Structure 1
Amino acid sequence: MKKIGFLSFGHWTPSPQSQARSAADVLLQSIDLAVEAERLGVDGAYFRVHHFARQLASPFPLLAAVGARTRKIEIGTAVIDMRYENPHYMAEDAGAADLIAGSRLQLGISRGSPEQVIEGWRHFGHQLTDGENDADMGRRHAETFLGLLDGRGFAQPNPRPMFANPPGLLRLEPFSAGLRERIWWGSATNATAIWAAQRGMNLQSSTLKFDESGEPLHVQQAAQIRAFRKAWTDAGHTREPRVSVSRSIFALMDDRDRAYFGRDEEQQDQIGFLDATTRAVFGRGYAAEPDVLIEQLRQDEAIAAADTLLLTIPNQLGVAYNVHVLEAILSHVAPGLGWR
């Protein structure tokens, strides 16, 4: 058995060809798709976070709305860029959304991806400390956030408060017990996967990874997962960690599917540079008839090693088409791989 979720980047564009032409379209369609995905038996509804872009950006109102409209499906992010976050405010928002959802949040956080603007986090009021780079700052914000989710009091109460306080130091409210164990780190390297394991976070590995060996993405990701699990064991954590990988997978069931995804341009890994020095491998997409797709996916070592698969979806093609995409995977591919 494997958990299967969808991952939406939440693009919109004011084009007649897009079914999502505004931010309102994307937000409302995201809620509708989560409801339909739950009906199909999909395990998770996950959303990307990008600032200064025509994409989903502020996750907690959306997560809370999805939580209020659904009952079972996991609701998550992949990922929240921690360079932009105030950890204290985020802890309050996350606690509230998790309580609305009945403890179903699975929050993916990370240092974040290349930005739309130069040092966009500065516009959110954040500054580097001496000797720190933006990746360090993202990890610092993450560690503060994790500490707040432990629920320990840390703030000295006012001796003459407006409302009566419980005894001792005060924590942030609302507090959602158990959310700390449902935090994931989006990792692009083996080193940050190990760092995440040491801090008791689950692992998200995307369709992009720093090229650390020259091997195909799925082979490098499988090695990353092994390094993460070893570090988890070495750290002495008692619970079982979770690991997700993301993939673009489309079963070609009809002429629409073949028109959208039947070409071979993305059937191989691609190599590129995130900046002047950082070489990255971008994972291939999968698009084929179900029987061919099953055999191709059997060879993907990272999917085999992960307990959760996040299917990236073409959200601008609309809710109905994406329901068709998810249903095809669940009905015609997952059973052949033993996932269902």
Structure 2
Amino acid sequence: MPTASRPLRRLGFLTIGLFDPADPARGHESTLEIIELGERLGFDSAWVRHRHLQYGISSPVAVLAAASQRTRRIELGTAVTPLGWENPLRLAEDLATVDILSGGRLNPGVSVGPPTHYEQVKEALYPDTSDTEDFGYERVRRLLDLVRGEPATGFSGAVGFETFSDVVQPHSPGLGRRLWYGGGSLGSARWTGEHAMNFLTSSVVKAEGTDTPADFAAIQLSHIREFRARHPDGEAARVSQGLVVIPTDSATPDQRARYAAYADQRLPRTTAPQGPARLLFAPDLVGTSAELAERLHAHAAFREIDEVAFALPFTFGHDDYVQILTDMATRLGPALGWRPGG
């Protein structure tokens, strides 16, 4: 087995928080229970993902605020918040508030680009400015400045009995160092490093250029190296990898069969870049912890990182997630050199 160049230091997981529209409370409660389980198992972080106008978490900040009151140690993140749906000033206030409530455990991850299905939602989202909204990196820069304490206005002081601040309140001093950008291109990796953010790299990358080989690990590795080359912290700059990884050590025969079928169904999209954006997907990894550790140690990009936020499959049930997380923490993590609190 190839030896990983960096021992796994931080183990996390990502969930979409699916729910039945007939009973959304049960689905949200399930997500909170899974986060609580993650803390008990020793996971370093739990991440949730936005799903607007779908049957998944549409308001991760609210969910993480609830999770912050039911946990004490585990870090809580978004992977990712698409800023096309957000006002950076209001989001900065919400993030700082939850960070304060959590005792400094929030790790907000963001991305840019037009909202999904923008032509269908723009009249509801931006009825007066839909044709002039900027969905580029400037939106991230605004959020960064506001979270890091740059003035939001030229006014501050007392007006009657009220006092006004020129910076976002509450201000959480450490939050600016815990902002992440979710990127899948060389350009996004470069921009993230130049702006001293942390870098989330997932199971999707762009195979840029028609001559680019369809080698997911090699492309992801080039992004990680470009990010660190541009970041002021260099090789110490934080990168988290988010592959779909499903250990089966304690799974029932039915679970193993469903997990294998899930991965097989998604495998064809991994063989070549997809669509005009040339998106390349990583295969889902399913197997025993020993098998998964071997495959991960052979993954060129995995060997460059020491943090992961393994993605839970979107369509499984609560009991499946309990089994997968338990095997991750008790078998796969140790097989990768991870220890709780390490």
Shorter-normalised TM range: 0.7 to 0.9
1:147-186 residue CA offsets vs partner (Å, 9 max, x unmatched): 1112134331365343245xxx621211111101100000
For the structure 1 residues 144 and 180, does the alpha-carbon distance in structure 2 shift closer, same or farther, using more than 3 Å as the test? same
User: Which residue matches 1:298?
Assistant: 297
User: Displacement, 1:271?
Assistant: 3.0
Q: Which residue number corresponds to residue 3 of structure 2? A: none
Superposed CA deviations along residues 234-274 of structure 1, whole A, max 9, x for unmatched, are: xx458942101111111223313312213461457243534
- What 5-or-longer segments of structure 2 have no aligned partner? 1-7
- Correspondence for 1:127: 129
Q: Distance in 1 between matches of 2:158 and 2:101?
A: 32
Contact 1:51 1:116 in 2 (8 A): no
Q: Could you tell me which amino acid in structure 1 is paired with residue 138 of structure 2?
A: R
Pairing 1:11–2:18 present: yes
8 Å CA contact retained: 1:81, 1:138: no
Gap change, CA 1:128 and 1:267, over 3 Å in 2: closer
Aligned counterpart, 1:210: 206
Secondary structure at 2:320 match in 1: helix
* Aligned pair partner of 1:197 in 187, 193, 196: 193
Matches within 5 A, 1:72-87: 72-87=73-88
> For 1:40 and 1:256, how far apart are their aligned partners in 2?
24
User: Following the alignment from structure 1 to structure 2, what is the Cα–Cα distance between the partners of residues 287 and 80?
Assistant: 27
Could you say which residue in structure 2 is the equivalent of 1:252?
A: 248
CA distance in 1, matches of 2:80, 2:129: 21
| Amino acid corresponding to residue 177 of structure 1 in structure 2 | P
Structure 1 residue 45 displacement after superposition: 0.8
Give 2:141's aligned amino acid. Answer: E
Query: What's the CA shift for 1:124?
Result: 2.4
Aligned position for 1:288:
287
Q: 1:262 to 1:43 in 2, by over 3 A?
A: same
Q: CA deviation at 1:315?
A: 5.5
Could you tell me the TM-score, scaled by structure 2's length? 0.86
Deviation track 1:301-323 (CA, whole Å, cap 9, x = no partner) reads 22221222112113553333312
Letter in 1 for 2:326: E
- What letter is aligned with 1:285? D
Could you tell me which residue of structure 2 aligns to residue 188 of structure 1? 184
**Partner-residue secondary structure (3-state), 2:159:** coil
Asked whether the 8 Å contact 1:53–1:116 carries over to 2, the reply is: no
User: Contact 2:109 / 2:180 at 8 angstroms: preserved in 1?
Assistant: yes
Pairing of 1:165-176 with structure 2 (within 5 A): 170-176=166-172
- The residue aligned with 1:18 is none
How is 1:54-65 mapped onto 2 (pairs within 5 angstroms)?
A: 54-65=55-66
Structure 1 segments (4+ residues) deviating >4 Å: none
Structure 1 counterpart of 2:221: 222
Q: Percent identity?
A: 27
Indicate how the Cα distance of structure 1 residues 215 and 3 shifts in structure 2: closer, same or farther if over 3 A, else same.
same
Give the residue type in structure 1 aligned to 2:171: F
Letter in 1 for 2:144: L
Check whether the contact 2:200–2:240 (CA below 8 A) recurs between aligned residues: yes
Instruction: Quote the residue 1:51 is aligned against.
Output: 52
The aligned counterpart of 2:239 is 243
**3-state DSSP of counterpart to 2:246:** strand
On the 8 A contact 1:11/1:315 being kept in 2, the answer is yes
Q: Distance in 2 between matches of 1:238 and 1:208?
A: 24
Matching residue's letter, 2:177: E
Q: Tell me what 1:2 maps to.
A: 9
Once the two structures are superposed, the pairs formed by residues 12-161 of structure 1 within 5 Å of their partners are 12-13=19-20, 22-111=23-112, 115-118=116-119, 120=121, 123-125=124-126, 127=129, 137-153=135-151, 154-157=153-156, 160-161=159-160
CA contact under 8 A between 1:244 and 1:308: conserved in structure 2? yes
Q: Which runs of 5+ in 1 are unaligned?
A: 15-20
Q: Deviations over 1:12-55 (max 9, x none)?
A: 345xxxxxx64322221111111111000111110111212221
| Greater relative contact order (Cα < 8 A, sep 6+) | 2
TM-score norm. by structure 1 comes to 0.86
List per-residue Cα deviations over 1:268-294 (Å, max 9, x = no partner). Answer: 7243534xx211101101111232222
Segment drifting more, 206-215 vs 150-159: 150-159
RMSD between aligned residues: 2.4
**Deviation for aligned residue 1:121:** 5.0
Are the structure 2 counterparts of residues 312 and 184 from structure 1 closer, same or farther at C-alpha, using a change threshold of 3 Å? same
